[in-house]
Amino acid sequence: MFSNQKSILNFFAVLLFGAFFIVSAVIPLPVCAETSPKISAESINILTKTNQALSEIVEAVKPVVVNISTSRIIKVPQHFDPFSNDPFFRRFFGDEFLPKIPREYKTRSLGSGVIVSPEGYILTNNHVIKDAEEIKVLLPDKREFKGEVKGTDPKTDLAVIKIDAKNLPTISWGNSNKLKVGEIVLAIGNPYGLNQTVTMGIVSAVGRANVGIADYEDFIQTDAAINPGNSGGAMANVKGELVGINTAIFSVTGGYQGIGFAIPSNMAKAVMESLIKEGKVIRGWLGVSVQSVTPELARQFGLKEEYGALVSDVFEKSPAEKAGLLRGDVIVEYEGKKIEEPLSLRNMVASTAPGTEVEIKAIRNGEAKTLKVAVVELPAEMQVTPDAEYENVLKGISVQDLAPNIYHQFDIPVKIKGVIITDIKQGSPAEEKLMKGDIIQEINRKKITDVKEYEKAASKIKPDESVLLLVFRNGTSTYITLSNK
């Protein structure tokens, strides 16, 4: 009987369960009220207009941003097998006893550029095309051209190349001096070879210096994502104007970490125009050595604030000396613009056209003085001399005369004469033994006092000839032998 009662109960349970689904299908059960917030029509309208505006900016700028690919041959010394891979041999005899043979391989790199004229001039970074043996430029319309270097300026990391094309699209120049922190900017380039990539951010800071990327630094800092390959690309404002040339990132991993730098458009435009017209960059010069104003120096010179450029030396017969500037003056204004630090003054003077008379405000013994100074061109002996392509052990070395400011900057004894190394190209025979900042005093026991003597001596060295150099480094003179073997 118990079994019959259990069967009856199971029958009624199934019947009730089925009835529940039948009723719920006919009569919908009540549901909870919708709790997700609604987006107002006004908000949707604002965001739609913002999207449309950003798209229009991108469509206006993208046609002028190109992909630049370069290639070059690198020679590296390689240990000769079979002993180079023998741990026993390396342990007892060392690497220096292993014979070496040169090995060549082709390296490729990618970057970006901005079309700046309908005739095919393209502005990019110097490091994008440096030492390139072949330059290819890919336009947004998929046309490809061979690029020719028209001028480079390592001091600002800018370069101009040209392609054989006409009626190309261009971009309007913006005034980078008017950029303010917080403004929206777009970065357009080819990171990792991904063509026409657009990122957005804000201006994080302006006037960034002491970054260590170039000699003349006045960078725009942004949080717009800039990655390898973006170098040379465009930074545009909300008007679609070019306000910067993307240059580098600050990163410990090699990728984007929220800090990117761009060369201001005003600096880039001045350098570009000079390179196209003159084939070099003509910079202004005052003829002073300056240093930062520290709290201690501010007290010593009776300054109320710690800003400006303290004059530590005035060169003889320079514009500064003729205008009456003295050692101990603190330059606080240049053409009405406040000088926060020495690098600001240096950039302003360098971008001033030679022959221009400028007004300088300086503090002397606690009193303000206004002086008129006629800026002249930076003397040739104070400029870096590009390396000649010597086919010998000195290939790939750039040198400069020892100007007075270099003696002061590097604390070089007055008795030391020679030329200072400003750059050594990768793959140079001297790369492993010489370094930037070395002073070459002698070549093959002959004294070198300036660039002309260096070039004369270097041009006489045969391709397979070893060279004996006397080099001043870290306060000591040392003999160094260079060899192609």
What residues are labeled active site? 127, 157, 231
H or E element that contains 332: strand 330-334
Question: Counting beta carbons within 10 angstroms of the beta carbon of residue 210, is it exposed (0 to 12), middle (13 to 18) or buried (19 or more)?
Answer: exposed
Q: How far apart are CA 312 and CA 20, in angstroms?
A: 95
All residues at 6 or more sequence positions from 46 whose CB lies less than 8 Å from its CB, including other chains: none
What does DSSP assign to residue 196?
T
Q: How far apart are CA 387 and CA 397, in angstroms?
A: 6
All residues at 6 or more sequence positions from 265 whose CB lies less than 8 Å from its CB, including other chains: 173, 174, 175, 176, 241, 242, 243, 244, 245
Residue with tokens 């630094």: 217
User: DSSP string of 362-389?
Assistant: EEETTEEEEEEEE-EEPPGGGSPBPPP-
Largest CA distance in the chain: 127
Cα pseudo-dihedral 225, 107, 65, 272, rounded to 10:
100
Token pair of 282 as six digits? 């003509």
The answer to whether the beta carbons of residues 265 and 175 sit under 8 Å apart is: yes
